[in-house]
Homo-oligomer: A and B are copies of this chain.
Amino acid sequence: MIKEHFQEGGVAMTNMCQCGHCTHDLCMHRVPIFSTLNQEEIEKIANLIHHREYKKGEILVSEGEKSESIVIMHEGSAKAYKYTADGREQILYIFSEGDFFGEQNLLSDNTATYFVEALQDVKTCVLLKSQFQQLLHQYPEIAIKIIDELGQRMMRLENALQSMGVRNVDARLGSLLIEFESKYGSTVPEGILIQLPLSREGIANYLGIARETVSRKLSQLEQEGIIRSLNNKTILITDQSSLKEIAGTV
């Protein structure tokens, strides 16, 4: 079930968000694209935003759906995916706190080009495209920030494409683990602990390989003493340098 929390503008409300889900630190302050704004500007925008919550497994956006708003991830993570011609799910992105999506076709009010599904319970901040466009006219710095952010996301996509081009599957899996290290890893005495955002099948759908192959390759890495699988969603990297070598990151 999806709850909505609109900001009831007006009345005796201060510009503080009263919805109980976002105090001033949340949302706006966590999103890089708003970082150049001052407090007053932030408060002005905060009034345009409303909030949504989703449970794990729920769909935030469906491909083909009319896309009228920009969605900013506030809590939890979600996967963006399309179906390939042969019916498999191809994961394109994993969105975490601070990421946003829906900015495609900012001008033409087109339809969504992929599905977005909650990997855990998720909270989002939503802003209508039309209002967002006005914002960009008002604050060109936001536009520049967005161009920058999009540039970075493109770099990630380009890297993903580069990895997909590697014929060696071991290297691709290695790269993924290294990517996850920085995003979902924490350093512990024994190595780096990764809380995987995806199941084995999810990893397979990210890399474009069969889930059995993921299992086999992870087992192999474990036998070689490079990782340790603590449970289905937790992996310990014990030999980072070997992993990097396998990934070809040198």
Contact residues in B for A92 (Cβ distance below 8 Å): 158, 161-162
Contact residues in B for A162 (Cβ distance below 8 Å): 82, 84, 90, 92
Cα A146 to Cα B149 in complex, Å, equals 12
Cα A230 to Cα B206 in complex, Å, equals 38
How distant is A155 from chain B, measured CB to nearest CB, in Å?
A: 6
Q: Does A201 contact B (CB under 8 A)?
A: no
Q: Does A107 contact B (CB under 8 A)?
A: yes
| Interface set, chain A 156-174, CB cutoff 8 A to B | 157-158, 160-168, 171
Q: Is the CB of A90 within 8 A of B161?
A: yes
Assign chain A's interface to a size class: 35 or more
Query: Per-position contact with B for A124-158: 1 when CB-CB < 8 Å, else 0?
Result: 00000000010011001101111110111111011
Q: Is the CB of A164 within 8 A of B166?
A: no
Q: Does A23 contact B (CB under 8 A)?
A: no
Q: Is the CB of A151 within 8 A of B114?
A: no
Q: Does A176 contact B (CB under 8 A)?
A: no
Contact residues in B for A97 (Cβ distance below 8 Å): none
Cα A146 to Cα B107 in complex, Å, equals 10
Q: Is the CB of B249 within 8 A of A106?
A: no
Q: Is the CB of A140 within 8 A of B136?
A: yes
Interface residues of A (CB under 8 A from B): 82, 84-86, 88, 90, 92, 103-108, 113-114, 133, 136-137, 140-141, 143-148, 150-155, 157-158, 160-168, 171, 175, 205, 208-209, 247-249
A-B contacts besides A106-B151, A161-B161, 11 pairs, CB < 8 Å = A85-B166, A85-B171, A90-B161, A92-B162, A104-B152, A136-B147, A137-B141, A147-B150, A153-B154, A154-B157, A165-B208
